Amino acid sequence: MKLAGKVGHVLDDQALMQALNSTPVADGRPQDLWRDDHEVDRWAREHGGPGGDEGRRWLRTARDTLQAIESGTSTAEFRLDQVLAGVRKVPQPSASGIEWRLEVPPERRLAVELVLAWADVKERMPGRLRPCGNSECRLFLLDRSRANTARWCSMKTCGNRLKARRHLERARKTPQPE
């Protein structure tokens, strides 16, 4: 059985970033906020999905795959193929012209929408979605700056921390006057 939904209901940039950034590092230890089934279900309900075992499995697969691709640790296209298998965009005549409907099994709908949101960002904002420049951080940023030069997920945390670390390294290397 297929569930049809408007293609226009694809998740937005904010939902994409929430999903990508659901594996932060806290106190030097990697965390997975979606490890808790209730947390994944809460996110799914906030974005129009029902949750459930299969939905959670597909959401985690989509998130993990997109993180691997964006961090450069894997191309993982085969896992995207699994998420997108059998999905179709079907034109439907409407009073306003043509409406595109997404046909996808219900348990995969949010995972597919997550992949479509990622693809939309990659197309609309090429080169602006990237991992934080802090190698100890596992977050991603969507650079909306005019110059496209943002390097950190947050200037308050990673940016200041790395700048302070570099300053200390330079100060240690500079010979002190006697």
Q: What is the pLDDT of residues 75-116, one digit of tens each?
A: 777 889 999 999 999 999 989 899 888 999 999 999 999 999
| 11 contact partners, CB below 8 Å, separation of at least 6 | 47, 110, 113, 114, 116, 117
Q: Is the pLDDT of residue 35 over 80?
A: yes
| 6 contact partners, CB below 8 Å, separation of at least 6 | 99, 100, 101, 102
In 3D, which of 88, 91, 116 has the Cα closest to residue 104?
88
**Which range has highest mean pLDDT (56-65, 130-139, 141-150)?**
56-65
| 167 contact partners, CB below 8 Å, separation of at least 6 | none
Structural domain contains residue 151: no
Q: Is the pLDDT of residue 1 over 50?
A: no
Return the higher-pLDDT residue of 169 and 2.
169
Q: Is the pLDDT of residue 162 over 60?
A: no
Total structural domains in the chain? 1
Structural domain contains residue 112: yes
Domain of 119 in residue numbering reads as 3-126
Contact 48, 77 (CB under 8 A): no
What average pLDDT does range 152-175 have in this prediction? 65
- Of the pLDDT bands very low, low, confident and very high (cuts 50, 70, 90), residue 3 is very low
**What are the beta bridge partners of residue 4?**
103
